[in-house]
Amino acid sequence: MGLPSSASRRQNNLLFLVFIMILFFHSIPDKINLCSNQSSVSPSVIPYKSSSNISSLETLKLDGCFSFDNIDYAAKDFGDMYHFLPSAVLHPKSVSDISNTIKHIFKMGSTSQLTVAARGHSHSLQGQAQAHQGIVINMESLQGPEMQVHTGELPYVDASGSELWINILHETLKYGLAPKSWTDYLHLTVGGTLSNAGISGQAFKHGPQINNIYQLEVVTGKGEVVTCSEKQNADLFYGVLGGLGQFGIITRARISLEPAPKTVKWIRALYDEFSKFSKDQEHLISKNSFDYIEGLVIINRTGLLNNWRSSFKPKDPLQASQFISEGKTLYCLEIAKYFNPNESDAMNQETESLLSDLSYIPSTLFLSEVSYVEFLDRVHQSEIKLQAKGLWEIPHPWLNLLIPKNKIFEFAQEVFGNILTDSSNGPILIYPVNKSKWDNRTSLITPEEDTFYLVAFLSSAMPSSTGRDGLFHILAQNQRILGFCSSTSLGAKQYLPHYSTQEEWQAHFGPKWEVFVLRKSTYDPMAILAPGHRIFRRK
């Protein structure tokens, strides 16, 4: 055969180049498509002990996908103090994706150390939604039936466990309805708050959010999809509510609704004596008169009332302008009355009558009228301002306590009088609730007394600071508060609890510990779920 012509050689070279390019591009992992089940496993992320277990996940047939690269975000949360890197992130499109993944890990048995954590809007504080070298489920990827609002004598909404409460509010308002109980911040997932409790200023009247649920769909630690309610699989139902994610992942919830108001009368007033403040709060929750009752502790704050004027109007502007807040420890009563426009006159009369029984400082009475949505979504406006200043994604060493009523004065004297000298690191919430409104069949642990207070130290730590606004100073302050509670046997309980040892968890649950352990062995016997709480070890 003769030598090929130059044109032929050029054509062959071109074909060879195209072939090489095809091989090259096919060898590049798909970095853009998050849901490529062919993604390569990154050896830098996966620990040597479980790399084969991780690789086996790629054999699962899913509607969604796993990510193995660029998953550092799953080791970060709102608390920004714990950072446990997972080996993979599941982006489920269906409940079966979650079920099949957990079932696969469960069937591996003791040959695997993989754990699974459900991550909603990443608002956990101490790594509770993280899974060191395990699987984090990105619940916000979950797709399913859209919200269904049912009207009638007992209205409710069926919503995904991955749905944000703010979206539930907007959807239910289309029908003139809304959930009864809220959290102060609505940009949280249903499954996340129901795994804890969901507490805000309506809890004295309706109980926490977990008391206003008719039915749940749950994926257990065996990978089983179970529908549960008060009458169906009741043990799982009550276990999951407030159960810290230990028995199952909430994928759907049926939430009780009530007629929604259009407007809110929003009121603030100050006290300079804790005894008067707490007496008035307890009086108001016993009368069941207002729709929302909370409180704030304010220590040595300059120009406090001037800061309120952007949202509130003083009842007596002249006296309010002369009030001095710096150098004092003050207690702010925050209350709200819901109403519709045609009820305005009657609402104002009733409010005036209720306020006349209280002992606040008259010159500090501030009032406002806002829409129902504006009131419920009030914290989000603060979030937007803090984000603009770069002060949102910083460490949040929060401490939330439930204090029995008969110990609250002793607690206030020591904590607000000696341990804390200012409250500039963040709000301090304090308000009472009635235990009669809380269902003791759930996993939530509360003090034994009939009335107890939520006291929430919502601190923010300035990055790199070594001063009073630094992380180590705030954590040390929290430990002093916890130490005081322990040494004086106050009977306090942590809300959003965090402990390091199983002995501490056992003390937290007290008489309910045996039931908690039994439920764990029933619904998650391999201890696959929610490892970030560090209650049980993977078996």
The structure tokens listed for 393 are 């994604």
Strands (E) located in 272-363: 292-299, 313-314, 329-339
Block residue for tokens 């970030």: 532
Angle subtended by helix axes 513-523 and 502-509, to nearest 10: 120
91, 121, 123, 498: the active-site residue: 123
CA 333/CA 537 separation, integer angstroms: 43
Three-state DSSP state, 368: strand
CA 138/CA 126 separation, integer angstroms: 18
Cα distance from N-terminal residue to C-terminal residue, the chain: 71
Strand-by-strand arrangement of the 65-67 sheet: 65-67, 88-91, 135-138, 116-119
CA 214/CA 157 separation, integer angstroms: 10
Three-state DSSP state, 107: helix
Sign of CA dihedral 304, 306, 310, 315: positive
Give the single-character DSSP code of 78.
S
CA 125/CA 318 separation, integer angstroms: 43
Can you name the residues that pair with 428 across neighbouring β-strands? 457
CA 255/CA 171 separation, integer angstroms: 13
In single-letter form, the type of residue at position 292 comes to: Y
123 has catalytic annotation: yes
DSSP assignment string, 307-321 = HHTTT-EESSHHHHH
CA 118/CA 60 separation, integer angstroms: 19
Furthest CA-CA distance within the chain: 112
97, 171, 294, 334: the active-site residue: 294
The structure tokens listed for 175 are 């029908």
Can you name the residues that pair with 528 across neighbouring β-strands? none
63, 69, 140, 184: the active-site residue: 184
Three-state DSSP state, 189: strand
CA 133/CA 371 separation, integer angstroms: 46
72 has catalytic annotation: no
Nearest to 292 by CA among 268, 322, 319: 268
The structure tokens listed for 329 are 């420890």
The set of catalytic residues is 123, 184, 294
